[in-house]
Structure 1
Amino acid sequence: MSKNLLSDRRLSRRALLTVGAGIGGGVLAGGWPIALAQAAAPQAGPRVAALGWACAQTILALGVVPLVIPEIERYSRLVVEPAVPSSVQEIGLRSEPNLELLQSFSPDIIIVDPSITAAIPRLKLIAPVEVFTIFKPGRHPLETARSSTMELAQRLGVQAACEAYLARFDAAMAGYRDQLRGRSGKPLYLVSEIARNRALVFGPNSLYQEVLGQFGLKNAWTGQSGPWGHTSVGLEVLAAVPDARLVLMSSRVADIEALLNASPVLRTLPFLRSGRLTVLGNQFFYGGVPAAERFARLLAERLPQENNEQG
């Protein structure tokens, strides 16, 4: 398959029909930062089906509106940004997309996340398939995300939009770094889930580690973590870094407050006894460049100055 789908003769007629119908591109809306949304001018191109959230958020960030996305309501709650335009249709579960419905949309290309690679032989009966990958052994997730985003943009024929988007991303990250200057005193435990007496904590091979490194911030968890950058640990383990701050990447604050009241272990953790808790809201830790930007922006907005804090 040609790397640039717009030059593929089999797809050229569909691409022209897409332009004529005014489909295939759009302006990002919702909670997406204005600085990053500016490049999301309408893009004419192939009819794209996004069957995963990581590829979907990246496609939207590039200014391309896919035909379909799985589990749109859950995406809106858990991935959050970029927002899904109302023209995008639901295609079922991420683990089990509706192939009959997918075929009815006559996509020119299907983009999938690695979680459903087993379905690729069946998907190829509908349209060419590309896998969008963030996590690769031996590589940093954000570095992989950037290269995967550029490869995806080439396949969709939106290289110029991609270059502009990544330039704005770099500028935004530089701004967040300036905002966070002087707030690197205490290490941070990055946690997305707390259930019973265990926490899901993010380590050195996570997407977030690269963001912390760019900002001169320390990760309190230096132990091992799995291939996706996180691991489950007992809450008592977090007491090993008593001066840390807990950064909670979840919107279920009410549940956490209930846990604080109910869990004897949580109440003993020194950083919680001292009130060192920052809530960022839901983060999509399997995501790419847009997920890194959302994490960085909320961290810059909400992490307090505590260099002189003694608690």
Structure 2
Amino acid sequence: MLKLSTKQAPLFEKEGRGGDLKTLAFFGNDFCQISPNPSLLKRGIRSVQIKLIAVVLSLFFANPLFAKIATLDWTVAETLIALGEKPIAVGDKPSYRVWVNHPALPDETVDLGVRLQPNLEQLLALKQLGEMVFINTSFYAKTTTNLNRFGTVEIVDFYQAGNAWQNILTATRQVAKHIGKPKQAEQLINDFSQKIAEIQPLVQPYQTRPIALVQFADSRHLRIYGKNSPFGEVLNQLGLMNAWQTEVNFWGFENIEITHLAKLPKNSRLVVIKPYPANIETALKHNTLWQKLPLAKDPLILPAIWTFGGVPSAQRFAESLADGLLNGGEQW
């Protein structure tokens, strides 16, 4: 996130007429005379900061079309990057690095802060570069009114009722259409299919053991991902069995208690996706039921992958799963 402190703002004090001390804020060719009044001074400093941020951003995002695209949604963000379009701004950039991580966000991409309450000052600074285009999902519909003050808002839904994978492919093509890169979308989808074809023979020895794909909320509660989910589709395309055959929500998972794991096929392989609470390993060691579960003996731990992602996350899951099955996963 680009932040400029008041010390960084180019403020100069100058003796005014009659001995009155006045502060002149110099910015490029603009001179703003600011009153010593604290509230007005603060407002003037904020104005200078916004202009400075805009100038810095213009250096990184010189292409007019390139500079316009922003999103609050991480699935849109990873899709944009995979299509070769660096987003100028993304919601909650630090958390993206924890939950998504790959593809990495450019360092110069602006952090819009809380995704459901984007930072208005950052948005105002971005607007100095010209008309903005925000590509969001319906999950952020409540922000549309505010965002319309700064540019156009396009809604693309990766997750909704219906076939999860087909929804993702449709949304990927819609994002590509909004940024004028339909060919890149087809290439992204084709690359995924080719990667699946490469991996499928490698994991063939593991096709007889059902996979229980989970993400821990705490030591007693977790999400388990079903067939109608992006990662469930990856399992299907790789010829692997999904241990969870029950219906799931349109996000592709079911919230369960750890006791439900005892109902899965006894030969199930537990695949755990990071991140999870820091104390999870210790808590599970002291959980009597967990210690008695057959699948607790050899859980496969995978790195953080965005379970609500698009094609890029699905491909990364396929690669990480294959690597884990063949070479072993990460440690708790």
TM bucket normalised to smaller: 0.7 to 0.9
Distance 2:60 2:295 in 1: 53
- How many residues matched? 267
Tell me, yes or no, if structure 1 residue 82 matches structure 2 residue 82.
no
Identify which range, 246-255 or 80-89, moves more after superposition.
Answer: 246-255
Q: How does 1:1-311 map to 2 (within 5 A)?
A: 23=61, 45=66, 47-106=68-127, 107-140=131-164, 142-240=165-263, 241-252=265-276, 255-272=279-296, 275-304=297-326
Long gaps (5+) in structure 2: 1-57, 328-332
Q: Is this contact kept in 2: 1:183–1:304, CA < 8 A?
A: no
Distance 2:277 2:201 in 1: 28
Distance 2:91 2:289 in 1: 38
Q: Is this contact kept in 1: 2:214–2:271, CA < 8 A?
A: yes
Q: C-alpha offsets along residues 264-301 of structure 1, whole Å, 9 cap, x if unaligned? A: 111111121xx221011222111111111111110111
What is the SS of the residue equivalent to 1:231?
strand
Distance 2:141 2:200 in 1: 37
Quick one: structure 1 residues 164 and 21, their matched pair in 2 at CA, closer, same or farther if it must change by over 3 Å?
Answer: farther
Q: C-alpha offsets along residues 209-255 of structure 1, whole Å, 9 cap, x if unaligned? A: 11111011111111232231112212122112211010001144963
Q: C-alpha offsets along residues 25-44 of structure 1, whole Å, 9 cap, x if unaligned? A: 8xxxxxxxxxxxxxxxxx96
Distance 2:277 2:122 in 1: 37
Bigger RCO (CA 8 Å, 6+ sep): 1
The residue type equivalent to 1:136 in the other structure is Q
Pairwise CA RMSD of aligned residues? 2.3
- Identity %, equivalent residues: 27
Greater Rg, structure 1 or structure 2? 2
Long gaps (5+) in structure 1: 1-19, 26-42, 306-311
Following superposition, which runs of at least 4 residues in structure 1 exceed 6 angstroms of deviation? none
Q: Is this contact kept in 2: 1:251–1:279, CA < 8 A?
A: no
What is the SS of the residue equivalent to 1:111?
strand
Task: Give, in angstroms, the shift of residue 114 of structure 1.
Answer: 2.2
What is the SS of the residue equivalent to 1:164?
helix
Q: Is this contact kept in 1: 2:215–2:276, CA < 8 A?
A: no
Q: Is this contact kept in 1: 2:302–2:324, CA < 8 A?
A: yes
TM-score for both structures, normalised by structure 2? 0.74
